Copies of this chain bind each other. A is one copy, B any other.
């Protein structure tokens, strides 16, 4: 069965300022609740979205100072999947060049950060990152 019809779609544009990731988390929560995801999964989606927004806020240097989000409930008849797209038109990066963080190396290291992408991948079922000179688009999906 085709499971990729868009049952609902919401878009959100946020300014790149502190705490605005919370609004993204709330929108994700609203859609995930609509799909009747379990509260644990809803919470995982929320955290993943928050992380992706913070990455755009911090690293993209997008001239429009905005993050563009799209939330799509996918399914054939019943909602099956929540797909969230987080897009910035910033400087981009090479996801393959990002080193996988390891706690042993972060201990006593000067830079302890670098966990966002790992956490996003750990919390979501599917994650794709498209990045280049026109910016970064992260597509993440969670099955109901």
Seen from chain A, the residues whose Cβ lies within 8 Å of a Cβ on chain B are: 8-15, 17, 19-20, 22-23, 26-27, 29-31, 33-34
Residue of B nearest to A12 (CB): B12
Given contacts A10-B15, A22-B34, A23-B26, 11 further A-B pairs with CB under 8 A are A9-B15, A11-B13, A12-B12, A12-B13, A20-B30, A22-B33, A26-B26, A26-B27, A26-B29, A26-B30, A27-B27
Residue of B nearest to A68 (CB): B11
Residue of B nearest to A69 (CB): B12
- In the assembly, what is the distance between CA of A14 and CA of B30, in Å? 12
- In the assembly, what is the distance between CA of A65 and CA of B12, in Å? 16
